[in-house]
Structure 1
Amino acid sequence: MPSRVIQGLSAGTVAAVLTVGLTACGSGAASDSGAAANSAANAATGAVTVAALANGAGTQTAVKVAEVASLHAELPASVASGGQLVIGVGALPAGFPPLAYVGSDQQTLTGSEPDLGRLVAAVLGLKPVVVNSTWENLFVGIDSGRTDVGFSNITDTEERQKKYDFASYREDNLAFEVVKGSNWNFDGDYTTLAGKTVAVGAGTNQEKLLLEWQARLKAAGKQLTVKYFPDNNATHLALVGGKIDAYFGPNPGIAYQIAQDARTPNPTRNAGTYSGAGATLQGLIAATTKKGDGLAKPVADAINHLIAGGQYAAWLAAWNLSNEAVRTAQINPPGLPLSNS
């Protein structure tokens, strides 16, 4: 069944892992050999194909992109001389659509995260080499220098900024999923949840937020009912069966579920988003490099070039993630505080 939640990849949105089989599960890391051939073909046409082999999670789109010599000149000598950008993704042993997972050819790592890495590499005039590993080994690769940059739904936090530099590229959002026929929307005001029954994953950041809102509503004499279900299938059946009013979870997982439901008799929709960092800070997902290695700036500048040229918007739209767009990529923006990292 389509999965709905994401584990471990974002300190702001921790939940159960999305279970999509990867072919290279036995080792700690796997190189994306399928994408290498696609990359060579794309280089000849001046385009990067995003959402290739998406298996229903995205819309395949050819995005025109060319090297920018001035941005290539910003690269640290160690990266420029190698001619490639080693992009780390922590999607083993299971993928998490639409962010990173093995595509319909059972070989190529697809998803919004490796796709943005490939677009950045094209702007910087580098060959993208995508390496898939476990979440822990993703950071080991960055620490050791074997990986140049992580594109893996990594939340910018104060704790991580002690060891890494960040170039932000997406909002870290939670969302409410409702049936398409529902007229309820969440506009950031938790009081609109009064009288609602909402499902959430146990032990997650979104559960913490929901229980805080429940307590405030109770103090005001109003009721918010929080429900838990044993698995994704049970949650989905409860939603489309009218047993709950909404599901509260990570926005990308909900975008994936909505795409899967679109052609079924029970379509769902996004009823509103909320920052994974809470009310006082917009959480951000960021490209992650070793602190002080000089790569964060050219990566951020490449992302801003893609934003200005429209390729960034096309990338997000292909993966149904336009509601997580940022206006600009920032280097080491304020991160999730140490008290909530």
Structure 2
Amino acid sequence: MSTTFSRRQLLRGVTAVTAFAALGTTLAACGGESDAAATTSAAGTVTVGQLSNGAAQETSIKVAEVASISALLPAAIKEKGTLIVGSGTLPSGSPPLGYIGDDQKTLTGSEPDFARLIATVLGLEAEVSPSTWENMFIGLDGGKVDVAISNVTVTEERKQKYEFASYRKDDLAFEVDESSDWTFDGDYRALAGKTVSVGSGTNQEKILLEWKDKLAEEGEDLTVKYYQDNNSLYLALSSGKIDAYLGPNPNLAYHTTETAGTPQATRIAGNFSGAGETLQGLIAAAAKKGSGLAEPIAAAINYLIENGQYDQWLKAWNLSTDAVEKSEIDPPGLPLTNS
């Protein structure tokens, strides 16, 4: 999972990390139940985007249990009445997906919000349990967590142990200075002559370096640069030392929201599948294989898509470009050679 932090996030990083670590300790002491930003606000309403530190537009969404969908739940989950949701965001969070809100203590983010919408359709109460990325999967394996809703990419390797219900595209994005007129339409040739920054050791670096090699074979140059911190990266972008930054779409969309209307304003210049040009990567809710949760969760997601709540949720978090047409159970994932 790639993590990108904005300038504002870095400035308050020590406080936020301390608060997030403290939250994790508190949750461990009380069995993992989270103080995620608000529960159902009123009968039939879920409010998303609360305490978002400006990353989201607070939005009240009308939604309620759908009996025909909740009837698909495994009996043990239905009887329990709660859906324990893993959030692999400790120790420092990953805005806008899951992070400490502007009260410096409460877990917020697009993923916890979506978990509450899904749980409401299923007639359940969502209990969001933050942990490290690795421990989230350990929780799934051991039954302490029912489902992970935390920017999990579907891969063929993971499908050997987990069942999935997709809900968002796994897209990368190019971020440019707002004044730039450059756009990326999916053709790597648009990068000829450009200087692009990317995170070292990431999936997006792998894709960018493959494009660099292709361009070199065609007699064109692509310069790739690396920065140790985001302050340096965004200073280079605003000063024209680099033309673009390639990173995970949600993180970059978060940054464009934060910088809007400032001298450092940026925009998204184009998107590309995190799985490469031959497959659309997908983000999905992950449950233990054989749990029987993928079917009701996919049905709940499709209900939210068909009735407009899904679009409201994405729009609130500035993630509309990540929308999928429907939730699929165990869709094709990144191949074993790229998992």
The answer to whether TM tops 0.5 is yes
**Is the Cα contact below 8 Å between 2:36 and 2:128 reproduced in 1?**
no
Partner of 1:222: 220
Partner of 2:35: 33
Partner of 1:170: 168
2:313 to 315, 334, 339: 315
Change (3 A) 1:339 1:64: same
CA shift for structure 1 position 34: 5.1
Aligned pairs for 1:71-86 within 5 A: 71-86=69-84
Partner of 2:296: 298
Q: How many angstroms apart in 2 are the aligned matches of 1:15 and 1:320?
A: 17
Alignment: residue pair count? 325
Change (3 A) 1:190 1:34: closer
**TM-score relative to the length of structure 1:** 0.92
Which letter does structure 1 place at the counterpart of 2:139?
G
Query: Which consecutive unaligned segments of at least 5 residues does structure 1 have?
Result: 1-8
Change (3 A) 1:80 1:235: same
Partner of 2:68: 70
Partner of 1:186: 184
CA shift for structure 1 position 15: 5.7
**Is the Cα contact below 8 Å between 2:5 and 2:230 reproduced in 1?**
no
SS in 1 for 2:174: strand
Structure 1 residue 325 and structure 2 residue 323: aligned?
yes
Aligned pairs for 1:119-268 within 5 A: 119-268=117-266
Query: Which consecutive unaligned segments of at least 5 residues does structure 2 have?
Result: none
SS in 2 for 1:92: coil
**Is the Cα contact below 8 Å between 1:52 and 1:60 reproduced in 2?**
yes
Q: How many angstroms apart in 2 are the aligned matches of 1:92 and 1:15?
A: 11
Q: How many angstroms apart in 2 are the aligned matches of 1:220 and 1:312?
A: 43
Change (3 A) 1:17 1:138: farther
Q: How many angstroms apart in 2 are the aligned matches of 1:140 and 1:220?
A: 46
Q: How many angstroms apart in 2 are the aligned matches of 1:220 and 1:154?
A: 36
Q: How many angstroms apart in 1 are the aligned matches of 2:218 and 2:156?
A: 34
1:54 to 52, 55, 63: 52
What's the C-alpha RMSD, in Å, of the aligned pairs? 1.5
Partner of 1:109: 107
Q: How many angstroms apart in 2 are the aligned matches of 1:207 and 1:137?
A: 26
**Is the Cα contact below 8 Å between 1:34 and 1:107 reproduced in 2?**
no
Deviates more, 1:217-226 or 1:151-160: 217-226
Which letter does structure 2 place at the counterpart of 1:32?
S
Q: How many angstroms apart in 1 are the aligned matches of 2:337 and 2:216?
A: 26
**Runs of 4+ residues over 4 Å off in structure 1:** 15-20
Q: How many angstroms apart in 2 are the aligned matches of 1:143 and 1:230?
A: 35
**Is the Cα contact below 8 Å between 2:4 and 2:252 reproduced in 1?**
no
Which letter does structure 2 place at the counterpart of 1:50?
V
Identity among equivalent positions (%) equals: 58
**Is the Cα contact below 8 Å between 1:17 and 1:94 reproduced in 2?**
no
Q: How many angstroms apart in 1 are the aligned matches of 2:258 and 2:4?
A: 19
**Is the Cα contact below 8 Å between 1:50 and 1:115 reproduced in 2?**
yes
SS in 2 for 1:67: coil
Q: How many angstroms apart in 1 are the aligned matches of 2:193 and 2:275?
A: 25
